[in-house]
Chains A and B, each alone.
Chain A
Amino acid sequence: MSTDVSDAVELTGSSVAPYSPDNPAPVIEPPRARTKRTPRSSRTNFELYGWLFMRLSGVVLVVLVIGHLLIQLVLDGGVQKVGFAFVAGRWSSPFWQFWDLAMLWLAMLHGGNGLRTVINDYAEQANTRVWLKTLLFTAVAFTIALGSLVIFTFDPNIR
């Protein structure tokens, strides 16, 4: 195959139009740059805040969850002591109510955002992604609402 020399791109030793401040090279658009055609919905810093939230909530969750594991599974007879009476005793204190509420919200949002990342990584079709994320959002919202309701309306004298 013969090559037309005049069409070949010269990479070195070019005598024709060397790029300079007066003759700048054409700008190559970075693949993820935000342009006028980028949808408005993606012009936020949502992913940045999501990334930051994973780190902040992660640090807090390490304390909350490891404390929870120590209380429920290690101290004072381990899981054998857990029952309605044990829950009633703990939730008679606003401190433990707040502990469990914070753990519920942070863990569900942290896990929900993690699963959102997993869905975005592995679900290749746009439709599949939408449906899986709708299901995920519903499950997270339902679980947070149910758990919060249970903590706020807990009645030790239910019977």
Chain B
Amino acid sequence: MPAGTLYRGREGMWSWVAHRVTGVLIFFFLFVHVLDTALVRVSPEDYDKVVHTYKTPIVSLLEYGLVAAILFHALNGLRIIAVDYWTQGPRYQKQMLWTVVGLWILLMLGAIYPVLGHAARVLWGN
């Protein structure tokens, strides 16, 4: 196997991949989310029954994943706009990506308690 023939990408390529993957995931969630909300036009009982599943520990974990996808897509989207419109954007795209990743980690740490707190209490008591 000759060395150095596999392109492993850099910050620019992997942020592009992550932006695409999170975007597709969010789109499919949005489709389901509009359908579940449409149940308010069927009956309060049916809506509450389906929303009840959103409060279980496993789905709470999925919600944490959804928040992760949305926050990355939002922050990296702002970085893309900066690369396009700010004259110094392309020069600082790597620094901006690491800023995005840093902010994302901080926000995800902050989201642990609000999003996963109830699940932890259900699973392990208060």
Contacts and interface: CB of A to CB of B under 8 A. Distances in A.
Interface of A: 55, 58-59, 61-62, 65-66, 69, 73-74, 78-80, 82-85, 87-88, 104, 107-108, 111-112, 114-115, 118, 139, 143, 146-147, 149-150, 153-155, 158-159
B37 A84 contact: no
Contacts of B45: 159
B84 A82 contact: no
Interface string B87-126: 0000000000000000000000001001101100000000
A51 to B, nearest CB: 9
Contacts of A154: 40-41
Interface of B: 20, 23-24, 26-27, 30-31, 34-35, 37-38, 40-41, 43-45, 47-48, 51, 54-55, 60, 63, 67, 70-71, 74, 77-78, 80-81, 84-85, 111, 114-115, 117-118
B58 to A, nearest CB: 13
Contacts, number: 102
A39 to B, nearest CB: 28
Contact of B34 (A74, A84, A115, A147): A147
B38 A146 contact: yes
A84 B37 CA distance: 10
A58 B77 contact: yes
Contacts of B111: 73-74
Given A74-B111, A74-B114, A147 B37 contact: yes
B36 to A, nearest CB: 11
Which 4 residue pairs spanning A and B have beta carbons closest together?
A: A111-B27, A84-B44, A74-B114, A147-B34
B106 to A, nearest CB: 14
B47 A118 contact: no
28 contacts: A55-B81, A55-B85, A58-B81, A59-B78, A65-B70, A65-B74, A66-B71, A69-B70, A73-B115, A78-B115, A78-B117, A79-B55, A80-B118, A82-B55, A83-B47, A84-B44, A84-B47, A87-B37, A87-B40, A107-B30, A111-B23, A111-B27, A114-B24, A118-B24, A146-B34, A150-B37, A155-B41, A158-B41
Given A87-B47, A118-B20, A62 B38 contact: no
A82 B23 contact: no
Contacts of A112: 27
Given A66-B71, A118-B24, 13 more contacts: A55-B80, A55-B81, A58-B78, A66-B74, A73-B111, A79-B63, A83-B47, A87-B47, A107-B30, A114-B24, A139-B31, A143-B30, A147-B38
A159 B55 contact: no
